Amino acid sequence: MTKNPLRWLGALLVLYLGLPIALFVIRFVSARERGFHVAGLFSSLWISISCASVSLVVICVFGTPLAYVLARSTSRLARLVEIAITLPLALPPVMGGIIVVYLVGPYSSLGRLFDRQLTNSVYGICIAMTFCSAPFLILAARAAFASIDQGLLDVASTLGHSEMSRFFRVAVPVAGPGIRAGMTMTWLRAFGEYGAVTILAYNPASLPVYTVNQFMARGIAPTLAPTMLALIVASGIVLLSRARLPKLAHVDLSEITPVPPTLKPSSRLRFDISKQLGSFQLKIKHVTQSDNLAVLGPSGSGKSALLRSLAGLYGPGAGEVSYGNDVVSNVKPEKRPVGYVSQGFSLFPHLTVWQNLNFPKNATRGNAAYWLGHLQLDGLENRYPSEISGGQRQRVALAQALCHSPEVLLLDEPFSALDMPIRRELHRELRRLQQETGLATVIVTHDPQEAAFLSQEVIVITDGASLQSGTNRQVFSRPASPEVARLLGISNLHHALVVAPGRIDSGGTVIAVDTDGMAPGAEVLWSIRPEQVIVRTLDDRASFDPADEGLVGTLSDIADVGTAVDLFVTLNDQFELHARVVDPVELSVGQRCRVVMDRSAISLWANPNVPLAAASTKGPAAQ
């Protein structure tokens, strides 16, 4: 069996670290004199424990907020502060003590102010410990805060929580493991500090100072007791830091009466967003004409940035936003009447499902119980987000936003990470919710079918700008440009030339279409939705206009996708046409067939400048 070299390397390090301790324990057990009787042992132990604890409290109170600020700042000043905080780690402790003497020494201004009591006292010990150990907590906490998903803090703000509330109720608990690790290292570093303590406060003696004095005066024998006490204390602190607190959160829903929420009638949106994000410019203006709006576009088009602007997460400089008659452009996100569901759900991992639902500032237990049952979350109230499935987490995130009693519900690609069956189930759930409550919703998505199902009107955007907006029927049936057609997933998109009024030539096939006065020879792009293409056998003319002979081609492929049948008809060497039907077909691959298209259903664009990445000459077109 092949040996794992990583395990061997780790074992060697454990041996190196553990062997001296084992040998010390053997010596301690076998020794006759250990030093417990020597005067000053337990008083020095108490001094080290108490002063290290005081230093830890001071560092936590001031260092944790500082770490939070540093983690959220990218300024040059923040980087300089980090360097200054790290320097005590690079300095030998004795030199660190010498530096601090210039601040609190008996002849410094601060020292004279406190009557020279800041050195040669427990104050000096605390000051020395704080200077040498503070970087451990601050740097560990900063790393922990920096790893927090920004979406958690964004969601907390849209649920009514101020910056201070988000710090204490979200940031600190989520960063808790990193902060606890920093606290452990800080306390242990302070407890064992010798060099700086010797410079600032040789008396009263801390445990390390006492131990060195005993070693210098009497040899190694009396150092056994303080060393063993230090090992016991350090081991206890490490074990305490790794202990898991019991999960006490538990709710009995039988004692809570569900209370249906009182939601404000739909608030139509008006916004004029102009926001510079690095080199990206978001500039979109729209007035909704219905309750439910979808924002459709590819990745990087600015969809999420638009939603964040509507939620107020970019601040007042993002542009003008109105919910109904309420202008909220200068209103902080925690004061806006919105429910915001970000990508990745952004549930608070340290809270149970029930606590997540009650997290919004204006949430009530009755409303939380109502949404828990209404969204089929019964039985999950005492579980944590890590203990439920993706679909359940999505329902919890939706219920959490609804517990805020919003006027507008903002959904940032809420179903993109879910499997198709769960997505369809939640699509239906959200649509039912829209119909029952009349709540205004804005959903961001890159899925045209999702946009059409969950909205009454749609904005198609790319590169931070709107390409087309209108009702679903207006946009999906008559795309304003080839780019819009591609983003809507329209597969039949082809080049052509105008050959005569009402006629275009696409690769040798002449097609009847409304050319709207385009001159012969003009280059165009044309498109038609697959559902509007009719395919029949050559002798079947029952459903055709006798005046229209249709187009003759060869059926090149048949794909049964379960809910429909996709047909691909090759009309010439340049392109094939995609048709979608619901009923079974009596055609077979390779059979000659007739294709008829309603000329009013064909979209036509002059002077196409965008290359047809989605159009292909052969094979199934993009869906």
pLDDT in tens, 263-307: 776 678 899 999 999 899 999 999 998 889 999 999 889 999 999
The pLDDT value recorded for residue 374 is 86
Same domain, 427 and 330: yes
Confidence of residue 613 (pLDDT cuts 50, 70, 90): very low
pLDDT top residue among 391 and 230: 230
Q: How far apart are CA 191 and CA 299, in angstroms?
A: 52
> Shortest CA distance to 582 belongs to which of 564, 559, 602?
564
> Shortest CA distance to 533 belongs to which of 487, 591, 576, 481?
576
Q: What is the mean pLDDT of the chain?
A: 87
Same domain, 414 and 536: no
- Is residue 7 one of the residues assigned to a domain? no
Q: Of 16-30, 56-70, 411-425, which range is least confident?
A: 411-425
- Is residue 345 one of the residues assigned to a domain? yes
The pLDDT value recorded for residue 225 is 92
Same domain, 333 and 401: yes
- pLDDT above 90 coverage of the chain, percent: 49
> Residue 619: pLDDT above 60?
no
Q: How far is CA 434 from CA 146, 472, 499, in A?
A: 37, 16, 49
Same domain, 378 and 418: yes
For residue 409, the cross-strand partners are 339, 441
The pLDDT value recorded for residue 248 is 64
> Residue 241: pLDDT above 70?
yes
The count of other CB atoms within 10 Å of the CB of residue 48 is 27
What is the average per-residue pLDDT within 16-38? 88
Same domain, 297 and 368: yes
The pLDDT value recorded for residue 611 is 45
Same domain, 147 and 220: yes
- Per-residue model confidence as pLDDT tens digits over 384-400: 999 998 888 888 999 99
> Shortest CA distance to 303 belongs to which of 450, 131, 433, 481?
450
Same domain, 294 and 230: no
Same domain, 263 and 236: no
- Is residue 380 one of the residues assigned to a domain? yes
- Per-residue model confidence as pLDDT tens digits over 175-208: 999 999 999 999 999 999 999 999 999 888 999 9
- The residue out of 208, 242, 276 marking a domain boundary is 242
The pLDDT value recorded for residue 413 is 87
- pLDDT above 70 coverage of the chain, percent: 94
Long-range residue pairs from 250-255, CB within 8 A, at least 24 positions apart, any chain: 250/382, 251/352, 251/354, 251/381, 251/382, 253/369, 253/372, 253/378, 253/381
> Residue 14: pLDDT above 90?
no
What is the average per-residue pLDDT within 443-463? 92
- Per-residue model confidence as pLDDT tens digits over 203-223: 889 999 999 999 998 888 899
Looking up residue 135, the CATH number of its domain turns out to be 1.10.3720.10
Same domain, 73 and 152: yes
- Is residue 495 one of the residues assigned to a domain? yes
The pLDDT value recorded for residue 609 is 54
Confidence of residue 345 (pLDDT cuts 50, 70, 90): low
The pLDDT value recorded for residue 549 is 58
- Is residue 10 one of the residues assigned to a domain? no
Q: Are 136 and 150 in contact (CB under 8 A)?
A: no
Number of folded domains in the chain? 3
The pLDDT value recorded for residue 616 is 33
What is the average per-residue pLDDT within 335-353? 88
- Is residue 356 one of the residues assigned to a domain? yes
Q: Of 109-118, 247-256, 439-448, 481-490, which range is least confident?
A: 247-256
- Is residue 294 one of the residues assigned to a domain? yes
- The residue out of 474, 501, 525 marking a domain boundary is 474
Looking up residue 584, the CATH number of its domain turns out to be 2.40.50.140
pLDDT top residue among 418 and 147: 147
Same domain, 448 and 530: no
What is the average per-residue pLDDT within 564-587? 88
The count of other CB atoms within 10 Å of the CB of residue 222 is 21
- Per-residue model confidence as pLDDT tens digits over 153-170: 999 999 999 999 999 999
Torsion of CA 496, 501, 502, 506, to 10 degrees: -20
Peptide bond into 204 cis (omega under 30): yes
> Residue 8: pLDDT above 90?
no
What is the average per-residue pLDDT within 528-547? 74
Q: How far apart are CA 506 and CA 296, in angstroms?
A: 29
What is the average per-residue pLDDT within 226-240? 93
Backbone φ and ψ for 445, nearest 5 degrees, come out as: -160, 160
- Is residue 248 one of the residues assigned to a domain? no
Segments forming the whole domain that contains residue 437: 259-474
pLDDT top residue among 544 and 534: 534
